Amino acid sequence: MSYDFDLLVIGAGSGGVRCARIAASHGARVAIAESRHWGGTCVNLGCVPKKLMVQASEYGDMVDDSHGFGWTSTRGTHDWGKLMTAKDREITRLNGIYVSMLEKAGITLLTGHARFVDGHTVRIEPSPLAPDEAPRTITAERIVIATGSTPVKPDIPGAELAITSDEAFHLPQRPERVVIIGSGYIGLEFAGIFAGLGSKVDLVYRRDLPLRGFDEEMRSAMAEAIDARGITQHRHACSTAIAKEGADLVVTLDNGQHLHTDCVFMATGRRPKIDALGLENTAITTADNGRIKVDMNSETAQPGVYAIGDVTDRINLTPVAIAEGHNLADRLFGKGPARQWCYATTPKAVFFSPPLATVGLTEEEAARNGVVDIYFTRFTPMRHTLTGRTRKTVMKLVVDQKSQKVVGVHILGDDAPEMLQGVAIAVTAELTKVDFDRTIGIHPTSAEELVTMRTRTRETPKAEG
């Protein structure tokens, strides 16, 4: 049977674009369908605009810190509208780059919403990106679903009064008071953004510490950093209702508290964006959490249909989606071996101020495998020795005692993500503590602490069970 294309990618986010470009480089006839934004969530409503806003939120502190070094500048006021305009201009530029890259690769761009007719047939219908496009039906031998995810709100009274990260990037003005529900990546990052720009921030979450799933010791250090940022934490609390009272929004918590605010920001998770794809017309199955089930080769239960990125129940990070897309295209159309990587050593970063970066196992995870040696340090980085600021950098090495492999590295502090990227190579390469010890540091830097922690802080026994 002949098809219009060898490969159709649904979703022009980071993973989908990489998959399409690599497949085209191998000679495949490729089309890519996008219904909303070229570049997907990361470029338009995620990583890129968020990082720009994080950086904007840090300049005020930099001005204050400069006083300790002899500067006499004053902080002044922040122009939210100017930031939004500059951010939008950069996003528009990146949108154009994505379109240009795809066109130069010889890929057919389909603007519209894709919906499965069967396992090889998709109907492209009008969408916000192309409301006047006429519907069309196309066929492809192989199809990749890379439609990403979208924010979710809890089902509570007044939830419609709250915003999510999607709306936060387009607020007409900065709210003076913000209540953020949730303490994962998104909740913490926006808490830091708003606090840094001058808003009063209340952070509400259900557990005793933020960032569930991260190393416990680093979670505690992050909680201290949140306090130091001037953010009020409401632990062991859930929002039960939101109501409008005059000019205020009022958030009711299950502990009886009522928080008056100008803005309620829900950072309570994301779900795969697959509801309108017509999956019922295929054999594709989903897990209990709604994410598409795939095998180790990213193939769904429908032969010839694959899924990558946030629609699957793997690690939902942009670089992972890119790696999955690259690997899949190599396997389907390449002549050599496909690029491989390890999910277990995927580095992560939380762009708070200060940021947290981590790679490999937490102390708790490593202890399930055997006895663990912990190397831990907390110090004042040189940039703060003259500022009067008490901000500390925290570093932790998790070492398997038997093999002496460094199986986890965790850093909380200025430039932590930049430091960790190189260390991720070491952890992926399964280097040992001896390898770290025989590496010469660069002085004076914070990063040199990673190779100068000679004395073990403690031994953690193997966890029972």
* Residues catalogued as catalytic: 443
3-class DSSP assignment, residue 7: strand
CA-nearest of 360, 354, 395 to 376 is 395
Q: Is 185 annotated as a binding residue?
A: yes
Does 148 belong to an annotated binding site? yes
Answer whether 406's CB lies under 8 Å from 427's CB: yes
DSSP symbol at 236: S
Does 230 appear as a known binding residue?
no
* End-to-end CA, the chain: 54
CA distance 194 to 123: 42
Encoding tokens for residue 318? 């942009």
d(CA 150, CA 133): 24
Please state, in angstroms and rounded to a whole number, the distance separating the CA atoms of residues 461 and 454: 20
Whether residue 182 is annotated as binding a ligand: the answer is yes
Instruction: Specify whether the CB–CB gap between 267 and 187 falls below 8 A.
Output: yes
Q: Which two tokens stand for residue 433?
A: 């503590």
Annotated binding residue 188: yes
User: DSSP letter string over 431-459?
Assistant: -BHHHHHTSPPPSS-SGGGGGT--S--EE
Q: What angle do CA 271, 277, 278 make, to 5 degrees?
A: 125
269 annotated binding-site participant:
yes
149 belongs to an annotated ligand binding site: yes
User: Do the annotations mark residue 46 as ligand-binding?
Assistant: no
Which residue ranges are tagged as binding site for NAD(+)? 182-189, 269
Known binding-site residues equal 51, 147-149, 182-189, 269, 310
Q: Which residues are annotated as a binding site for FAD?
A: 51, 147-149, 310
